[in-house]
Structure 1
Amino acid sequence: KVKPLETFKIEGYIYPSNLKVWVKVFQEKKDLKPNIDGSFNLTIKTPANIGEGKHTTLVGPYAKNITAPITKKLGIEVYRLPVNLTFKHSPVALTNLNFEVSGLVFHNKKPLKEAEVTVEAFGEKVKTKTGLDGSFNVRLQTPYNLYTGNHPLTVKVNPKEPWFRSIQKTVTVPLLNLYMLLLPATLTVILIRRVWPLKHKPKPPTFEEVSTITPPQPTPEKLQGILKTYFGAVKLIQTYTGIELKPSDTVREYLFKVKPYLGEAYKPFKKLSLILEEVVYGSLEHSLKEAENLLTEIRERIKT
């Protein structure tokens, strides 16, 4: 067995010793002149790019006069040393972003420096070389037009020394195309807006939400309808509880202030406060009769 660039000898004897010998090895033919005793030898250097496996060497003499040539066959096996390759990569590839691959090349726990590393994925091929510690690191740019799914990632290593074997590993990497994922949703929204225009109806506020609505301060000429009814209720409650409605108070803030003191009058005052918000600030309709009935209920429950 021999490795690339390794030398070996071919030795033999021939009789008669005056015959010229030829040797054909690795597709190359060489002529030899035997020694006076018929011995001959030839040192061969195994080519760097020779393939692994068994190779046949032919040895024989040239015909001379009545001498019939006889050809001998010799088997030579060429081998290379195995190489170890480990690498890691980003867990998921995203379109139009960098994708990183890093790894280590070694033999018998010893790093292989200056080995050529080729990383191929997503239609892109990047070449680099290992450092003194046998490590490598590359970045690929994922194109925006790839489909979402698994894509092959191939790492191939060609060591600098020809007596080491090349190695190649392929894994699959999940890729997400954000553009393709968002496109159907975007088209759907556009279609809905064109075919069925959105009709927005304001949602009335709830008492559990924090309100920032501040009712306008009453003036005699503007106290009409439901607004006048609400401030009529506020006047009763201020007299009953002693808690005034300040200019900085919102409808709900005042409602929460007086809640502990209203007893059964709290429920109708809460309904009246909600009606005020919906009419004045939510553009919703309520009947004046409903508001007046609530004011009457508040007055009766405060008296009792």
Structure 2
Amino acid sequence: MHSQFTRTEENNNIWLSQKNSPSLSIKDQGINPTVLATEAEVGKAMLNELYKTAEAKEGDINIALLGGRGAQELHRLLGELAKSGEKDELLSRLNVFTQDALAPMGMNNGFSFVRDFERILGDAFFQKIKSFTPMQTDTEDLESALIEYLTKLESLGGLDIFFIGHGPEENEASHLAYIKPFSGAQHDHLAGIIPISSSILEHHISKFKAGGSVVSESDEKECRSAEYILTLGPAAILQAKKIVQSVVDADTAPAKIKTYAKVLNTTLSTDVEEAKQQLNANPGLWVRLHPNTQSFVLPSLGL
């Protein structure tokens, strides 16, 4: 184990945390969603948050990309900018990280987020950014690979922007990145390795097919044999300078209407132990503890 991190295991969930993390203090910041008319407008709003960070900070900009539908418009816009050359100076400052992944799985599998990012962002984007660090999913030692990933993220100073979504779970709960309900995630956990469920695999596969990914039968077979989800944890979320959340697919994932409303309308207990239980049961609530969160949503959420 790398001396910088400690390891805890709960119900087969492995969590890596920083040593000497401060204790959790509960200050519920709430969420103030911005309802925009179209997915294109959400993409522009997300891009604008990147521009704001670029103006306010010198040097590198560290971001975690959001997979799935939530940020596809942002990725299309970034891809167009990379082709046009008009924002090359900004792109050259970007250290880009992925935030979750299915494993074990070949890095070239059409169901990996990396392939989906390449498809939409395009070659020019990856040629122009400073660095791209995906979670390694094709290794026998997933834990060591995840530690290498975290070490790089830490050495660069953590995330300036965590682009994040909102995933529906049973009992109107939700996941964030892929922090699952009752996975034991704590405020000091930077990343985790979580056992996968068949429902997640089905959701993932159908989401990729609906999104237009080019996939093969062998890709799907390998994807269905994945055993774990690698995910950034609550500490990576809470330590990011800014959270930019987008929820754009309530029409195709209608469960999000109720699960997002629950996160929006639940107040975290001022009792730390009670709040920990709320966060464990419904990890979507972690965004309520971040003082700098933008949540861009569509009218289909019915707010």
Question: TM-score interval w.r.t. the shorter chain?
Answer: under 0.3
Q: Which has the higher contact order (CA 8 A, sep 6+)?
A: 2
Structure with the bigger percentage of strand: 1
**Bigger radius of gyration, 1 or 2?**
1
Structure with the bigger percentage of helix: 2
